Chain A
């Protein structure tokens, strides 16, 4: 295959395509005008209680990005305290935190615990999952499978309107007497049962969030099974859709046990039951007045039965996004699509069978530890397959170093570090040393922060033109990328060293009181400074994001020359509710780039084989041209 020729022809086509943009634009304006004659939707039904998956996706995206920033801010407060324990905050922050949380500007240990619990909860349940599933899944899955909307649009709206109150309730717990939940994001009893009232609010918030996720997952699975376009068989689905399908099954079957556990913990807290409370507990010298006979480890089982699949809920959509971006920017098919799909499905299945590797130190016994250790080692295989397939996909590609591609390329080694450092944790013997140390924090943050969050950034830069018709600024995107990459490593890499030295997580002073932490504790300052630099490098992104919505460079419908339906079969941004003017028909797999003999270097899924495409008019442009001609006739 001579890639040179492809690129040249591709460029020629791209120039010709500029003319097509005008046509598309004319069509879009015409349609907007036309829809103006139809029944007008009120502001509320169009922008607040919208049933259009695209708008719901955007609602999810904006909300979850705000929560992401909030969770990040909580972490910054903690990092300040860790680097300079006992030092007062700058006056304006101290004023914001208030005397109750930071008397004299110095953070109280209780408040530190609240921040720790809420940082984890907000990041996992309010930021990453809604962003990965609610935002990207909602916006893209129907478009990529050629459907007019989700299978149950009203249910979809309800998901969002359970998520938002759930999130607000969760945050409002900071206003409770005694502050927010402070028993860690895992909320282990008995501590969480005897904790302050913020924990009750935490549980209520969780019940809403879980219900929201359940409704969403039902919707996704039905949509993917039922609404695929004509010709779009399962092995022609973009890997992103596969990832969302597996993710939805994880949410569907793993979340209910946590919902049950949350109800039980709520009963323990408000009705005085003893599901998780053993007999004979003495708190601050006072014996607890309850029936006893409960089992604290039961909570851990039910919690991790959710929370381990949840880890894959965090990473799978990210892998899906990365696959799309890599295929598009290497201009060649993904290597080993079938292996990717098989690995993704197997990963999802296995993720249900590994949960107790979080509990090696609970005295489970060697037999069960050996079992979960084995399954944990097995689950690393599909992860490696996916990563390997993505890395090999780069081989021989004509890589375009666009901003989304740079995030995707960084994802590969970063997720690799996160994954490989998980292996020692999965081995029961090594885990005895590493359990509950900063090593664990480093491990899963490498998976989620420069892993998933980078994938999310890649997705935002990649699909921003889809949702807005405008492109994010490339230069500031690159500034954002390099700054984030370096700063994130600065934050998380030293955690491995601290953890190996035995520094525990969740320490208010970062380990200053322990002799064994002395030689390594100075890295806290470095990590915290890196975190503030990381914040600084998010500013270009935030400004770029809002600026580009209104003032970004206008681009055509298929700005990246992509093959999948969301780009090839509809305009950007897509038309009003309903997505496609013509129901797309799919003729081939999702990543037919650089097909020998084809005049352009991409062969859209919806382009018939025998049609000889006139050089400029392909995909959306083609449809638009035809449509305009038809209207005029």
Chain B
């Protein structure tokens, strides 16, 4: 009987009736045997599914391109300088988000917020450049239905753009709640920035492949 703790909390979280009170283990700190906290395992699993999502699109692109009698080179029809600028932009945002995380670990909230803001700004710049690219294409009557090259171009960059927007929403949320979260649960906030960063790096990584495949080859 010694193995049991035969006591019930008077006001324990388990039966307080309010769901805000229960604590899920390992939301902040790592479980010893996996060495991970929940959010980190969760985001990696999510990224694994994202690999399969974009993988299916890459599979589509390979199949369509190799089957097609004509397939334009990206640099003939797409705006390489703009896309190159966007590549720099996105890589830079990947660095700023990791610097935000590093600064949180140093206890420097102000700097961390600054870097988060820059990351968000990079997101806006990226989407702005995308909008210019799309706008130019539309004005030349180059639509997804024009050719499968444009179809894959629009779908892949479009889906990637949606991911960028999703990341931007999270960054905005993190920025708005930074003070509150940092004051109350510093470690958890740091973890959130790390997890969001992992997602953002993945978005960056996808672009690193999309850029040559669509624009340069």
Contact = CB atoms under 8 A, between A and B. Distances in A.
**Chain A residues touching B, range:** 35 or more
B56 A626 contact: no
A252 B45 contact: yes
B4 A273 contact: no
B11 to A, nearest CB: 8
Given A264-B155, A623-B4, A576 B17 contact: yes
A365 interface: no
A585 B151 contact: no
B14 A576 contact: yes
Given A226-B25, A257-B55, A294-B64, A273 B14 contact: no
Nearest to B18: A39
Contact of B148 (A293, A585, A630, A631): A293
B56 A260 contact: yes
A590 interface: no
Contacts of B59: 298, 301-302
Contacts of A431: none
A273 B60 CA distance: 13
A618 to B, nearest CB: 11
Contacts of A271: 143-145, 151, 154
A420 to B, nearest CB: 32
B15 interface: yes
- Counting chain A CB atoms within 10 Å of each CB, which of B26, B37, B49, B155 scores highest? B49
B19 interface: yes
A601 interface: no
B85 interface: no
Contacts of B11: 38
A305 B42 CA distance: 23
Contacts of A608: 1-4
A627 B7 CA distance: 5
A579 B146 contact: no
Given A36-B17, A582-B5, A611-B1, A291 B45 contact: no
A150 B41 CA distance: 14
A257 B53 CA distance: 5
B148 A275 contact: yes
A577 B14 CA distance: 6
A241 to B, nearest CB: 16
Contact of A272 (B9, B22, B48, B143): B143
Interface in B45-95: 45-46, 48-57, 59-60, 63-64, 67-68
Interface string A218-244: 110110011100000000000000000
A587 interface: yes
Contacts of B144: 267, 271-273
Interface of A: 31, 34-36, 38-41, 45, 50-52, 147-153, 214, 217-219, 221-222, 225-227, 252-257, 259-261, 263-264, 267, 271-275, 290-291, 293-295, 298, 301-302, 305, 575-582, 585, 587, 608, 610-611, 622-623, 626-627, 629-631
